[in-house]
Structures are given as structure tokens and as C-alpha cells.
Amino acid sequence: MIIDGTFWVAISFLIFLGVLIYLKIPQKINELLNKLILDIKNEIDESEKLRQEAKVLLDNAQNKLDTAQTISNDILRQAKKDSEHLIIEMNDKFHKSSEIKKKLAENKISQMKEAALKEIKDVSIKIAVDSVKKIINTSVDKSKLDGLFEKNVEETKIALKEISS
């Protein structure tokens, strides 16, 4: 057998492998790799756990959001109902108030009408009394009396028209 450089390389390689096995380097590498695999597996498990917790938190937040949305819709519906009732109530109050004001105005108008009629009667009586005084004071013949009467009637009509306007 020829011992050349390849033989010595093979021998040195086998010795190298022997030294590695003797020093338990493959076991240490295997333990190191197993430890790294275990660490990675733990990190994956932890991230999976965090993902599950995040999903639970997201579901809780979504439920709260849905509940809040439902509550806000209920509040809006109630507010609409309340505003409709308030509008109806205010409308009724407005109509009642306008009826009261209308009745007050009608009463005031009727009072003013009665006062005007009373004033017209008072003025008419005063004019009639004045006419009678003039007639008595001027007791003259019938033609003058008729002329005076016609004149007083005309004055009474004019005074009544002025009072009416």
C-alpha cells in the first residue's frame, strides 16, 4: 500500500473526528442546537399565546364597540322620540296660548265696542239736551224751530260720524 498525502489527510481527519468525539463536541453541538430549537419553540408558543390573548382582547373590544353602538342607537331613538313628544307638546302649548290671546283680544274688542257705544249714547244725550236747551231758549215761531231742529239733527249726525270713525 502506498502511503501518500491523501492517506495522511484521511488519517488526520479520522483523528480529528476521534478528538471531536472524545471531547464530546457533537453532543455539545446537539445540545446547543436542541437548546436553540427549544428556545425557538418556546418563543413560538409564547407568540401563539400572545396572539390568542390579543384575539381575546380584540373580541372583547369588538363586543364593547358593538354594545356601545347599540346603546348609542338606543339613545338616538329615545332622543328622537323625546324630541317628537316635545315638539307636539310645544305645538299644543302654542295653540292654547294663541287661543287665549285670541279670546283676550276679542274680549278687549268687545269692551272697546261697548265703551264706544256708551260714549256715542252719552254724546247723543248731550247733543239732545243741548238742542232742547237751544229750542227752549229760542222759543220762537215754528218755522225757526223746525230749522233749528233740522240743524241740530245734522249736527248730531256729524258728531256721531266723527265718534264712529
Residue 64 placed within a domain: yes
CA distance 136 to 132: 6
Residue 9 placed within a domain: no
**Amino acid found at 163:** I
> What pLDDT shows up at residue 57?
95
Residue 152 placed within a domain: yes
Residue 1 placed within a domain: no
pTM of the model: 0.42
Host domain of residue 99: 23-164
Point out the residues of the chain with pLDDT beneath 50. none
Q: Is 152 within 8 Å of 132 (Cβ atoms)?
A: no
> What pLDDT shows up at residue 135?
67
63, three cell numbers:
363586543
CA distance 131 to 143: 16
CA distance 103 to 106: 5
Residue 8 placed within a domain: no
When divided into structural domains, the chain yields a total of 1
Residue 79 placed within a domain: yes
Residue 87 placed within a domain: yes
Instruction: List, as own/partner pairs, every contact residues 40-47 make where C-beta atoms lie below 8 angstroms and the sequence separation is at least 24, other chains included.
Output: none
Residue 12 placed within a domain: no
> What pLDDT shows up at residue 138?
64
> What pLDDT shows up at residue 121?
83
